[in-house]
Amino acid sequence: MARILTSPRPSSLIGHRGRNIANTASWALAAKLAAAANLFVAVPFVLSSLGPKEFGAWATLVSLVYFAGFLDFGFGSGTMNLVAAARGRGQSSEIPIILREGRRTLFKVAACLALTVLIALPLAPWHRLLGLPETMSTDCRFAFAAVLFSIVAAVPLNLANRVQLGLGHGARAFRWQTAGQLLALAVVMAASVLGATLPWLTLAAVGTPLLASIGNTFSLAHDPATQTSEIVPYQARIATQIRREGSLFFVMQLAAALAFSADLPLISALQDPTQAGVYAIVQRLFSVIPLALSLIWAPLWPAYRNALAAKDQHWVLKTLRNSLALAGIFSILFASVLVLGFKYILRFWMHHPIDVPSALLTGFALWSIFESVGSAIGTFLNAASVMRYQIIVGCTFAAVCFSAKIWALANIGVVAMPWTTLISYIGCSLLPLILFSRRILTDVLAKTY
């Protein structure tokens, strides 16, 4: 292992990968700032328009959009990995074929999801899931329709973002995301001022960003790297690769969604929508930390894959060490600032006091640090297709975390939620990683991509 860590240096971080990551990260920063503005600036407008109870329902509904990230069944991530690997091997002729097969697969997924939504929409008691009275059943049904159909549309549309990253054109994808977030913020603010109801405010928040995704899809279609003059028949091998790797990503994404994205729906169902609203405010504040770091992880994932396919092991190892240090230092400093300045930030942001237990703040701060370091590791493992280990660990963590949250809500309360996530993560994910890290790293560097 020591020989691996001291191997000769074929290239430096300040090379084409480093420049591409820096360029993409700068636009990712713009996109994340726009997303942060959307998170923070819209909240007081919606809260003033809807009131605390409906605001909690709105926050829960908007949080469901993140499920679109796994409802593509991982095929978007699988397609991105194949595109990045083809670039690393210098086989650019495969890229249009990979894109075509990925797009075809995702359209089939979207069609199946749309049929499921059409069947379920008139049948489910949606107002009960949000903890709202039966008099709001119609509004809740339309609000859920806006969310569910937005998720369906995002499944094929979000492929363009993944492929742009795989091509090394992540800056282009993030430019479109920036435009979509700013447009969504403007629409939500305008709708709130005009007194829009819950369904319209939900549609404004989740549907508007899709316009940018449509623009990005057309942009990708005109990229020379994705075009071919040849009529290529159906490629079963590539389609099978996308489905196989994508299905494994889907299992991991499903486990992550169960562990991380179920907090607000659980609180709304088991406690009270008002408590869900308070929890959402704290959660959104601390989400700035992973949002900021994700502007590095997004272009770093395909860059890892490209370097692994090109056998540039020194770049991979050095970048992994640097990313872990960055995640740890940044998250500790930022979380400390948020805890110490929480009252001042809240006064500036919400314009009126909200009672938040200090234990809830401390739990979110500690969890944000572990989450940041874990995301740096996960970016590397995803790029290297370390799937079996991640699936076993991820599913175990998700099952333990979800069950513990239900127990904690019933016996302790909302304040225990971030602590439950933290303790479950340390026991189910961090300790196994420490035990198996040497073996995983050796296998990754010996593999052909």
| DSSP calls for 89-151 | HT-GGGHHHHHHHHHHHHHHHHHHHHHHHHHHTTTS-HHHHTT--GGGHHHHHHHHHHHHHHH
Range 91-97 average pLDDT = 84
Residue 201: predicted pLDDT: 93
Range 347-353 average pLDDT = 77
The number of residues making up the chain comes to 449
In whole angstroms, give the CA distance from residue 100 to residue 227.
Answer: 10
In whole angstroms, give the CA distance from residue 218 to residue 229.
Answer: 18
Determine the residue type at 349.
W
Structure confidence by residue, pLDDT tens digits, 332-345 = 999 999 999 988 88
Residue 239: predicted pLDDT: 79
Range 62-82 average pLDDT = 79
More confident call, 36 vs 366:
366
Within 10 A of 356 (CB to CB), how many other CB atoms are there?
A: 18
Residue 17: predicted pLDDT: 73
pLDDT-based confidence at 230, cuts 50/70/90? low
Enter the pTM of the model: 0.71
| Phi, psi (deg, nearest 5) at residue 197 | -85, 175
Helix (H) or strand (E) holding 296: helix 288-309
Percent of the chain with pLDDT over 70: 94
Range 149-153 average pLDDT = 93
Range 236-255 average pLDDT = 81
Q: Measure CA of the first residue to CA of the last residue in the chain; give whole Å.
A: 20
What is the overall mean pLDDT for the chain?
86
pLDDT-based confidence at 251, cuts 50/70/90? confident
In whole angstroms, give the CA distance from residue 189 to residue 194.
Answer: 9
Instruction: Provide the sign of the torsion angle of the four alpha carbons 135, 139, 143, 146, taken in this order.
Output: positive
- DSSP 3-state of 86: helix
